[in-house]
């Protein structure tokens, strides 16, 4: 048995002898197990429900009766984002973004009904998730149990005898680190369970295990920091003060300061304001419902020339459908330009924020964890983009039916009494232009890529603290 191992075992014996240490260990373990189970069940429920809602929405759309195709454009469709399997560990932005989106012609809606909006306001830190427990609160336990690992020996005057017996500072350091590492390993078991459970639900094991490794690394940073302070400080009071201050600042203060700084240096304007600015651009495009809008004069002239006819009713295609299709294309271009600008801005804000990850390991692991779980901002953006592609496809599919399957004459007479109303329709089989929408997370490699800089920051923190700790341990004097 190496001496480092013996030192670690002795440390554990000390902890187990303290009722307080045992109590805090039990309380946190129970909390972790509870939260892990509850979050897992919630995520599974949400996943099943949204997949079900998605199928139902598709069925409803396909089952609509024969209609004027443009009515289906306005009837619209819903898409849902099912949480990825690793949301059972870190639900990420899910609760604040809303997960259903209404798709219709001429508009890009925002996701509605975020859970956060209807929740009772009780203060605190919001819903507990395994990720939050690990990143926010577990460091406190590490501080509470670990700040004394060296100081206790110092205060009990056992440090001198230990060092004089030939236990070097470096070996003592390794032993104490091993003890803290075992503590972390034990407490991280629920996280390991989440990773495996997620992989059973179809998640790549690589992403799950990287997330687990990231969690270990983050907790390792706290262990290394605690150990370093325990080596360097002269009294327990001072060590606890320094560690608590570090926790308050890096976990509670810096992330929020980062958020405020990101939104102050890169302000986004609200959607309404953007919409109103955009309206100015959109008005120039003309109203797709009004084929007589002067904006479509060129389209009309081109079509008449192309088919060599004198008036729109002689065209072999439905001119109103052509106008609807053309205007949807132009409009979507403008909508997308604004949407992209907004998303780019949000990504820039996120990048600004993650730069603070070098100051706060908490921010780094939080970001990396959402990246790996597929519950980050980028995934939300991809959801919005894919939803938009679905929207554009089905609207243009319907417009195509409008152009080809509905005669211009019937279309013009649609408001002409009951008879005209009934004739201006196309067969319901045309509704099959709708594609199935199943949102899946990015590939594990992609997510890993996004998380890499943050994981790198964590590795650097860890190495630096271990280096500092080792240096302090070598110069350890009683």
Partner 1 sequence: MMRELKFMFRDKAVWVWLSLAFVFSIAAVSLGINEVSQQCAEIAELQQLDQIERKAALSGQSEWGGAAYYTFHLTYDPPSDFAFAAMGQRDVSPWKHRIRMLALEGQIYETDANNPDFALIGRFDFAFIASLIAPLLVILLLFDLRSGEQVAGRLRLIEASAGDAKKLWRTRAGLRIGALAIVLCLPVIIGGVISGAGIMTLLFCILAVCLYLGFWTMLTLWLTPATRTGAYNLTIMLGIWLLLCAVLPATLTQAISRAVSLPDGGEIVLTQREAVNDAWDIPKEETYAAFLKRHPEWVDYTGWDTADGFEWKWYYAFQHVGDQTAEPLSKAYREGQARRDELAKWSSLISPATLMQRTMERLAGTDMRAAITYEQSVRDFHANLRAWHYPKMFKADDFNSDWAIGAVPTFDPSTETGAESDLSN
Instruction: Identify residues 166-205 at the interface with partner 1 (CB under 8 A).
Output: none
Q: CA angle at residue 309 from 306 to 312, to 5 degrees?
A: 95
Q: Which residues 305-344 are close enough to bind partner 1 by CB under 8 A? A: none
Site for partner 1 in 352-371 (CB under 8 A): 353, 363, 366
Q: Which stretch binds partner 1 (CB under 8 A): 73-81, 172-180, 208-216, 294-302?
A: 73-81
Of 228 and 383, CB closest to partner 1: 383
Q: How many CB atoms lie within 10 A of CB 265?
A: 10
Rounded to the nearest 10°, the torsion over CA 236, 241, 247, 249 is -160
Pair of tokens at residue 398: 């319907």
Q: CB–CB of 325/338 below 8 Å?
A: no
CA distance 163 to 280: 78
Q: Give me the DSSP letters along 178-201.
A: HHHHHHHHHHTHHHHHHHHHHHHT
Q: How many Cβ atoms are within 10 Å of 108's Cβ, its own excluded? A: 21
Q: Which of residues 406-465 bind partner 1 (CB under 8 A)?
A: 414-418, 420-421
Rule CB under 8 A: choose which of 73, 350, 387, 448 binds partner 1.
350
CB 207 within 8 A of CB 86: yes
Residue 157 is a binding residue for partner 1 (CB under 8 A): no
Q: Of residues 2, 279, 302, 443, which one binds partner 1 by CB under 8 A?
A: 279
**Near partner 1 in 9-28, by CB under 8 A:** 20, 24, 27
Assess 136 for contact with partner 1 (CB under 8 A): yes
Binding residue for partner 1 (CB under 8 A) from 41, 161, 200, 260?
260
Min CB(65)–partner 1 separation in Å? 7
When asked if residue 269 is in the footprint of partner 1 (CB under 8 A), the reply is yes
Per CB under 8 A, contacts with partner 1 among 49-68 are 53, 65, 67
CA angle 446, 35, 453 (to 5 degrees): 25
CB 98 to partner 1: min, Å: 7
Place of tokens 């803290």: 180
CB of 105 to partner 1, least distance (A): 13
In whole angstroms, how large is the CA radius of gyration of the chain? Answer: 30
CB nearer to partner 1: give 125 or 305.
125
Instruction: Determine, following the binding rule CB under 8 A, whether residue 256 of this chain makes contact with partner 1.
Output: yes
- Kind plus residue range of the DSSP H or E element containing 66: none
User: How far apart are alpha carbons 425 and 446 in whole angstroms?
Assistant: 46
Q: Which helix (H) or strand (E) holds 79?
A: strand 77-80
Q: Give min distance, CB of 364 to partner 1, in A.
A: 13
Subset of residues 103 to 132 that bind partner 1, contact rule: CB under 8 A? 109-114, 116-128
Minimum distance between the CB of residue 153 and partner 1, rounded to whole angstroms? 14
**Based on CB atoms, which residue is closest to partner 1, 303 or 458?**
458
Residue 433 in tokens = 């232009």
């Amino acid at each position: 048995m190496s001496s480092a191992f013996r030192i670690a075992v002795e440390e554990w014996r000390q902890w187990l002898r303290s009722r307080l240490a045992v109590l805090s260990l039990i309380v946190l373990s129970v909390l972790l197990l509870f939260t892990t189970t509850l979050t897992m069940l919630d995520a599974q429920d949400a996943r099943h429900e949204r997949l079900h809602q998605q199928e139902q929405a598709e069925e409803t759309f396909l089952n609509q009766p024969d209609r004027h195709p443009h009515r289906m454009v306005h009837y619209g469709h819903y898409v849902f984002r099912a949480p990825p399997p690793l949301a059972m560990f870190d639900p990420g932005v899910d609760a604040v973004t809303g997960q259903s989106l209404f798709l219709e012609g001429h508009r890009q809606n925002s996701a509605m009904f975020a859970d956060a909006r209807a929740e009772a306001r009780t203060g605190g830190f919001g819903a507990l998730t395994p990720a939050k427990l690990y990143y926010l609160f577990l460091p406190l336990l590490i501080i509470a149990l670990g700040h004394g690992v060296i100081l206790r020996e110092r205060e009990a005057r056992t440090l001198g005898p230990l060092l004089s017996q030939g236990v070097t500072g470096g070996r003592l350091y390794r032993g104490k680190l091993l003890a803290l590492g075992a503590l972390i390993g034990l407490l991280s078991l629920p996280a390991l369970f989440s990773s495996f459970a997620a992989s059973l639900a179809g998640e790549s094991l690589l992403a799950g295990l990287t997330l687990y490794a990231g969690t270990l690394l983050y907790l390792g940073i706290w262990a290394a920091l605690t150990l370093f302070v325990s080596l360097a400080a002269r009294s327990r009071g001072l060590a606890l003060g320094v560690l608590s201050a570090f926790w308050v600042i890096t976990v509670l203060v810096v992330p929020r300061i980062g958020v405020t700084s990101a939104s102050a240096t890169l302000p986004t304007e609200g959607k309404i304001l953007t919409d109103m600015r955009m309206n100015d651009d959109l008005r120039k495009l003309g109203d797709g419902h009004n084929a007589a809008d002067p904006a479509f004069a060129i389209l009309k002239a081109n079509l008449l020339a192309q088919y060599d006819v004198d008036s729109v009713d002689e065209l072999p295609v439905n001119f109103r459908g052509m106008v609807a299709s053309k205007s949807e294309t132009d409009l979507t271009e403008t909508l997308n330009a604004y949407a992209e600008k907004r998303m780019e801005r949000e990504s820039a804000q996120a990048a600004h924020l993650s730069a603070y990850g070098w100051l706060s390991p908490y921010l780094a692991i939080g970001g990396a964890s959402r990246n790996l779980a597929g519950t980050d901002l980028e995934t939300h953006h991809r959801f919005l983009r894919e939803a938009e592609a679905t929207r554009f496809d089905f609207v243009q599919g319907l417009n195509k039916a409008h152009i080809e399957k509905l005669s211009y004459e019937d279309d013009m007479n649609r408001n002409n009494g009951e008879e005209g109303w009934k004739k201006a329709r196309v067969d319901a089989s045309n509704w099959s232009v709708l594609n199935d929408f199943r949102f899946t997370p990015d590939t594990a490699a992609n997510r890993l890529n996004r998380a890499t800089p943050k994981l790198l920051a964590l590795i650097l923190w860890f190495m630096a603290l271990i280096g500092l700790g080792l240096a302090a341990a070598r110069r350890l004097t009683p």
